[in-house]
Structure 1
């Protein structure tokens, strides 16, 4: 059996949870061929994959939303990118279908959550499963205008799936598919290099991870020096403004994922994002979350934050001024923690769908 994942190139979070599911699937069915298809940088994908036998196919299946920066979207550029992508998709679907057939195995297409996965599954006459907490129809429709056509096309593609694996922090996704609810979908932390492990475990201050996704967000390094009672850790891209690295900052070396450091962190400062929320909540790390207003998923993420995580919410102005509230107690969740075995549950659902 071949599992082919059409993974959104919108950000790192989709690939992170897709790899977690494929890794869990490898434990259940080590003889299956596992393929991750994404336009993300291969170095990033290999860092996520680690030792798992997952093949990479460098394909762009969707646009998502073009980002102005880590906290804002660019709708005009998104529309132009969507039109360009639609001209390329027929050739991409044809080429990838031919490659999958050349592997000589029956296939299942898992989409997270490019609508074009439906065209690939149809060309292969293969089962189609979706996994996500939102669809691009949910994201595009609120923008109105020319986005409505793209939202309708996406919804029609989503309706052809045989199963929806529904992640937490979810939007409507009213596609008429049979559904299965998942817990937190995230990977597991790997061991740190010995020197980094020693540096982090001998700190006298609480460890705070800063992360704003693949784009990063420029921050004045002097703001970190205002919090001498804390030590910070950041992964690439290190978008710090200033001519020196603050003494209370450790930069993660290449190959070390933010996920690997969460077991040592007290809190995380960053933007709303599914994979960050899932990884932090699974590790019991408090979340300081900076507001974002132009992406429909954020409403569901912040609702989940309040219900299931110790947290504080910040404005963008507070972020840029260094008013990060790290000296204030975290607000407790209103409900119990979410189950952290979502990747395993998704893998088991795929096996049941096929067997």
Structure 2
């Protein structure tokens, strides 16, 4: 059975959520996946054991970023103007990839919805937000967003089935609502801990959703005794520098395993990072995105359901957050609501009922 996935390339978070669903499907059935996105192929090769066909195609705009924490609204609006409305040639080209598929799962690229319609197969929208809801928060900064908000709202409503994943930003009627969705853990935590931590050091993972090491300040970190640090997103080979490992962005080290091995995860509050930390039960020191509307929802979930603490952007960029490591470690094992079953399992069951 072939199943299609049309995935936005806004960061790696949506691809990570889609991969989690693929992993759950592959445990249940013999499946071949057809993937359309510009998220790099290695990201899927690293996570999937099931066969897949990869097509590098721009499926969505998302947000143009100035940094991992700041959006460029004028550039986003300009990019949207060039991409939408979707042309027949774009829709037909994408539909051709999915012609042999049983269905198309869209996270959260609406091109997949129209491509599925063109291919005469069901479309399933998987989301915790849609782009029309995101863009509405920036409309005062760019009036040209209004036409895209209305257009995308219309496209998203054309999905045949609708799945929402917690934490949900805008709760509406849907066909299936599931707990947080995270890629499965593969390796044992002790094996990775011994690889990256020095002796009995506590292990701290620093992840900013793919941004490179220039965003990371070693001030305060290098001198912190009793802690080893792994910083993801290095543009170039992995570098070991004292108690800090700058990990190659394309490293074969599987990110959910690193999350599970870490005592503390420090990073931008994004969906896949939050879901993977939640699954692993690590402490989460999270940095909010001040204007991105999803961030408020994710921060609320972290505060209520996870051993966590918010740190400021200023503290992160200056390295002052290292002063709080002992307090963060004290949160480990703190009693919070029990982790529910991985939402990917629920989605897989739902999809196979449709198949």
Q: TM-score, normalised by structure 1?
A: 0.89
Q: Which residue does 1:303 correspond to in 2?
A: 300
Cα 1:168–1:334, aligned 2, differ >3 Å: closer, same or farther? farther
Residue in 1 that maps onto 2:326: 327
Shift of 1:100: 2.8
Q: Does 2:262 align with 1:293?
A: no
What's the secondary structure of 2:5's corresponding residue? strand
Separation in structure 2 between the aligned mates of residue 131 and residue 183 of structure 1, nearest angstrom: 12
- Deviations along 1:294-318, one digit per CA (max 9) or x if unpaired, are 1111011011111110001111111
- Pick closer, same or farther for the CA change 1:340–1:298 going to 2, 3 Å: same
Question: Hey, what does 1:77 align to over in structure 2?
Answer: 75
Per the alignment, in what secondary structure is the counterpart of residue 269 of structure 1?
strand
Are the counterparts in 2 of residues 184 and 338 from structure 1 also a CA contact under 8 Å? no
Looking at structure 2, the residues matched to 89 and 250 of structure 1 have their Cα atoms a distance apart, in angstroms, of 45
Tell me how far apart the structure 2 counterparts of residues 209 and 130 of structure 1 sit (CA, whole Å). Answer: 32
Q: Residue 41 in 1 paired to residue 37 in 2? A: no
Superposition map of 1:8-23 within 5 A: 8-23=8-23
SS in structure 2 opposite 1:66? Answer: coil
C-alpha distance in structure 1 between counterparts of 2:145 and 2:260, whole Å:
41
Report Cα offsets for 1:76-133 as digits up to 9, x if no partner: 11111112222775322211223433x4xx5311110112222112212211111111
Equivalent-residue separation in structure 2 for 1:235 and 1:215 (angstroms) = 8
Q: Which residue of 2 aligns with 1:190?
A: 186
Give the aligned partner of residue 257 of structure 2.
260
Distance 2:167 2:150 in 1: 22
Unaligned stretches of 5+ residues in structure 2: none
Distance 1:333 1:37, change over 3 A: farther
**Aligned counterpart in structure 2 of residue 93 of structure 1, from 91, 94, 101:** 91
Change over 3 Å in CA distance of 1:197–1:143 after alignment to 2: closer
Residues 152-191 of structure 1 aligned to structure 2 (within 5 Å)? 152-172=150-170, 174=172, 178-191=174-187
Q: 1:193 to 1:265 in 2, by over 3 A?
A: closer
Aligned residues: CA RMSD: 2.6
8 Å CA contact 1:182, 1:342 repeated in 2: yes
Q: Is the 8 A contact 1:306 1:334 kept in 2?
A: no
TM-score (norm 2): 0.89
Q: 1:200, 1:264 within 8 Å by CA — same for their partners in 2?
A: no
Retained in 1: the 8 A contact 2:189–2:257? no
> How many matched pairs?
344
Which residue of structure 1 lines up, in the alignment, with residue 354 of structure 2?
353
Query: Aligned-pair distance for 1:39?
Result: 0.4
Secondary structure of residue in 1 paired with 2:84: helix
Displacement, 1:154? Answer: 1.2
